[in-house]
Amino acid sequence: IDQLVNVLAERILSNHQSGQADHHVQEVLTIFPSLQFGMDVNPKFTAGPTGVEYTMHLNAFDLLHIELVHGWLLEPDAQEYDLIGNQTYNQLINMVIEGNDAATTLHNVDPSSGAIS
């Protein structure tokens, strides 16, 4: 992984023009060592193959002139399309967690008193 990180860093620095987005270069060079564990990419299911929420990890693709695409797409005629809207994967996961928490709370309500057990 060290060799790959070095090659990518050299490529970014050779593509980089001084003064242009220096902070993005610094961010990417800072996150490179953690890339061996993965990258945070947060797709939008209804925004096409390039629809993702911005994270600093995506700067690596920009600085390497690589267009990131994903295949997690929902057909426009799917019944869930309007419900999902422009929400990202992380936003939808949070909705599922909140729904599960609410269901657990409702399950623990005593029907006779209305108290949560």
The span from the CA of 78 to the CA of 95, in Å, is: 19
Task: Report the range out of 6-20, 51-65, 70-84, 95-109 with the highest average pLDDT.
Answer: 70-84
Residue with tokens 């593509």: 15
Please report which confidence band the pLDDT of residue 117 belongs to, taking 50, 70 and 90 as the band edges. Answer: low
Please report which confidence band the pLDDT of residue 110 belongs to, taking 50, 70 and 90 as the band edges. Answer: low
The span from the CA of 65 to the CA of 39, in Å, is: 17
Please report which confidence band the pLDDT of residue 108 belongs to, taking 50, 70 and 90 as the band edges. Answer: confident
Q: Return the minimum-mean-pLDDT range out of 22-26, 54-58, 101-105.
A: 22-26
Report pTM. 0.69
For Cα atoms 36, 41, 46, give the angle at the middle one, nearest 5 degrees: 155
- Express each pLDDT in 44-93 by its tens digit: 999 999 999 988 888 888 888 889 999 999 999 999 999 999 999 999 99
Q: Report which of 47, 52, 43 is spatially closest to residue 85, judged by C-alpha positions.
A: 47
CB-based contact 110:117 (threshold 8 Å): yes
Please give the average per-residue pLDDT across 98-113, as a whole number: 81
Please give the average per-residue pLDDT across 15-29, as a whole number: 72
CB-based contact 89:63 (threshold 8 Å): no
CB-based contact 29:12 (threshold 8 Å): yes
